[in-house]
Structure 1
């Protein structure tokens, strides 16, 4: 009701207290959706949605019908001081967030109705009582906590951890990273006041409060998804007091209002509501309108993932715990699996073989026939998450002969990433209804050849929507619903998400890829045991 009153007062701008009282009384008689009932006046405001990615921070302004108005992007550096480490400097990320917001707001004529966030998953930063950082941001790419993941799986039981949290315990998980920090920096750990994600840290700096959302909490391996609370036994195994974790709220919650010096610093008016937002992967389901059975969301950014939504918790019955189950919104769950090196494989190949020109990968790959003349790429450049869960896996080009040229390598890299996603899709479809339609987002959606390869490999139509910034749009949709412009996620997605292009499978290509994919799986399965040369160290990923 407070959101409704706030919106109504902005629309009607009462001149005196008696008019204001009448509006408040009128608001109490209304039902959702408020936007239609309040006024026929066209609302011209917008929502600024900040997407805190791995290497870029984007601030995207959407109007209240989901059209992209403006986008600004600022690079973020990832530091790798040791092999397997991946860190970011908190203040550099914060500076990128503020710069992106300020640039976006400056270029938008519409009034900003709200600020919201989507963010990379699995990041951790440690804060002292003064709000200063005791560590860099340890992001999702970091794999230093292999031993700690094994210790946790032994203490609680790997599958029991999965059953409670919906997370496969591995070095990527915040639970493992926190335990590593406690074991390796005990004096520093004693000074820890709060353990936050990078988005939580940004909200703390903006609003001076410690809060996280249900989506990010459910992706920590610390949160019991069945009880919707931090799991005390897991926290005890990690050695973390529950008071050191932020309060968990729903992703669509208003957590504060812009005020003080930050209003001027980021160019927003005082009093603009801040909606908590959530993890980028889960929010992409909303931004692509993937809320019902038979429809999947696929993302190729730095990493890659394929996900569906369900109205119930769905877990892998295999002890391998090959896919995740994270919280979403309105009682929905996000079921899916992610690979480590999707767009990262493209960037690596372009940097080393195409003079750093990423656009050339599609140009070269288009010269080769489907199947890349039998050349197969296993994209395990950073180890692999789903479905292998092997941090020591290595990338492979298989089938190389004298006949292979640059176009074959280029196409094999594109196809290998899609094969890895298809590997996840095949496992998911043992537990969820078949995927009849796949909607794609992320930077990979701009590569038409990649979209066609996906349709051919998946043997399923692949759809593009009106914006590639689907995670940011998902956060904006939640915000629009919170502000009262839509009655439900379903209403919002039906109104906002527009499908504007489809790639249909080409039967002869699908036939070729079905044979090649089986070969890909056989190679991956055969090499799997060789990725674990030191079982005592690496068994945690099994």
Structure 2
């Protein structure tokens, strides 16, 4: 193989847009571009996207890539696709989408989830899938279509997820990768295979389930039709790809058990690599993109709190807000001199799964400055991360170094606060396209560019800095964390009464506080 003329493409199908990235085998990025697409809200609680918009974004992005780089299509050795979880795409025998995809934000299937749990038992569903039944997953969406759109259900050949749909458009072959299998509660999280008996008991025809692939398996090659639309060379290998969070973990270099990918953005989260499936109903379990691995995930909404502060209070200083925010917060001592922030600005996801929770500043006084509030926000988000980590550790899951990606990772101060709060070392990769890089790595493994995941990460992932906990700060934050937990416990009943039915009926709960799956607005699991 001529490595000098070998390139890998990562396609990242996200909630707001599709990113196309082109990498060398050594992980150098030659191109990245994002194409946005709309989200539709046909009625309260219904959130959809048009799979045709995903495909158009892929085609437009690839053609822009070729135009900008001049790379010959024949020099692309493999393509990997990652995508958001929980998007249900029913397709007919010709692979055409029969309706808009109900994405993870959609929560119209509460009744179907309750019915399944009553009929089969939440404990049984959790035992097989490792996850509670919830509208954010695919299972309830399939049953909703069966009950409300029987004509579409009768014409459905397969139910795909978003990356599986793009893989089909590229290759003409159906697939489900093991990291996206947890979208279906008939997917056995331990064996990574279908439980067809459970599928039938839920009322879903087993033949609707696509064939399962390991994430680096080559599903097929780019067809002549897809080549004409994208500019790719016909015959280019396409691998199954994976869940966006799982691909981001790989692209951040988290491959060994105990290594963690931490996402610091509007919807923050963490993914812990494990060598066995550990079920915890307060977290999210899925297969990993590498063989014999799983990931335990948690998600928070607090990362957007600084954006809220910027939007509402920065005024004319919008452009340099984050630099000024870091400078102001750095002048405040750890613990924010008595100011505590609960980062539940849109409810909260794991591990509390409380759509009624709200953001709280505790300890405001006339001495409180902007710097205090900024640092308290940073510390509150770090507390939410620690809450997820200790929840995982309580299940016997080891947590070692955290590999941090996302906008917050650019702040040395914020990363240090997270290290001090969690007591863990943080490593920050140089690439800001971790999910797309992870998808491209899978393509490289499948096409023979890399021997395995460890080989790929050694060649492609480079750390720009490492930050370790400061002992004195750790001691301060132990006490702050206990207060953080107590504050929520004392307020949760008040949140329920204050927010209550008005918030629940607005449909905003899952749409804001549950981007990774889990229990928001869902029936209870085998807690």
- State TM-score, norm by structure 2: 0.85
Pairing 1:99–2:99 present: no
Pairing 1:171–2:135 present: yes
Pairing 1:501–2:465 present: yes
Shift of 1:470: 1.6
Structure 2: how far apart are the matches of 1:379 and 1:81? 30
What does residue 4 of structure 2 align with?
A: 43
Question: Structure 1 pair 334/305, CA: closer, same or farther in 2 (3 Å)?
Answer: farther
Following superposition of structure 1 onto structure 2, how do residues 124-203 of structure 1 map, counting pairs within 5 Å? 124-203=88-167
Note if contact 1:143-1:391 (Cα within 8 Å) is conserved in structure 2: no
Pairing 1:76–2:44 present: no
What does residue 380 of structure 1 align with?
A: 344
What does residue 455 of structure 2 align with?
A: 491
What does residue 14 of structure 2 align with?
A: 53
Question: Structure 1 pair 252/242, CA: closer, same or farther in 2 (3 Å)?
Answer: same
What does residue 301 of structure 2 align with?
A: 341
Pairing 1:332–2:292 present: yes
Range that drifts further, 529-538 or 290-299: 529-538
Partner residue of 1:66 out of 18, 27, 32: 27
What does residue 29 of structure 1 align with?
A: none
Deviations 1:324-350 (A, max 9, x none): 331124533333232242444444444
Structure 2: how far apart are the matches of 1:378 and 1:178? 36
What does residue 34 of structure 1 align with?
A: none
Shift of 1:83: 4.5
Larger Rg: 1
Shift of 1:137: 2.3
Note if contact 1:125-1:195 (Cα within 8 Å) is conserved in structure 2: yes
1:218 is paired with a residue whose SS is helix
RMSD of Structure 2 on Structure 1 (CA): 2.9
What does residue 474 of structure 1 align with?
A: 438
Question: Structure 1 pair 238/448, CA: closer, same or farther in 2 (3 Å)?
Answer: farther
Range that drifts further, 237-246 or 342-351: 342-351
1:103 is paired with a residue whose SS is helix
What does residue 282 of structure 2 align with?
A: 322
Pairing 1:86–2:47 present: yes
Shift of 1:256: 1.8
Shift of 1:501: 0.5
Q: Report how many aligned residue pairs link the two structures.
A: 499
Question: Structure 1 pair 79/539, CA: closer, same or farther in 2 (3 Å)?
Answer: closer
Pairing 1:114–2:78 present: yes
1:298 is paired with a residue whose SS is strand
Deviations 1:175-209 (A, max 9, x none): 13333343444454344333221112222222223
Deviations 1:37-63 (A, max 9, x none): xxxxx5331101111112231111111
Pairing 1:413–2:377 present: yes
Question: Structure 1 pair 329/91, CA: closer, same or farther in 2 (3 Å)?
Answer: closer
Provide structure 2 residue ranges, at least 5 long, that are not aligned to the other structure. 506-520
Shift of 1:289: 2.3
What does residue 510 of structure 2 align with?
A: none
Shift of 1:220: 3.1
Structure 1: how far apart are the matches of 2:309 and 2:56? 30
Provide structure 1 residue ranges, at least 5 long, that are not aligned to the other structure. 1-6, 12-41
Note if contact 1:124-1:139 (Cα within 8 Å) is conserved in structure 2: yes
What does residue 268 of structure 2 align with?
A: 304
Pairing 1:217–2:217 present: no
Structure 2: how far apart are the matches of 1:78 and 1:408? 37
Question: Structure 1 pair 401/339, CA: closer, same or farther in 2 (3 Å)?
Answer: farther
Instruction: Tell me which stretches of 4 or more aligned residues in structure 1 moved more than 6 Å.
Output: 533-537
Deviations 1:495-517 (A, max 9, x none): 32222201222334333332222
Partner residue of 2:239 out of 267, 270, 275: 275
1:43 is paired with a residue whose SS is helix
Shift of 1:425: 0.3
Range that drifts further, 217-226 or 420-429: 217-226
Structure 2: how far apart are the matches of 1:514 and 1:84? 39
- State TM-score, norm by structure 1: 0.83
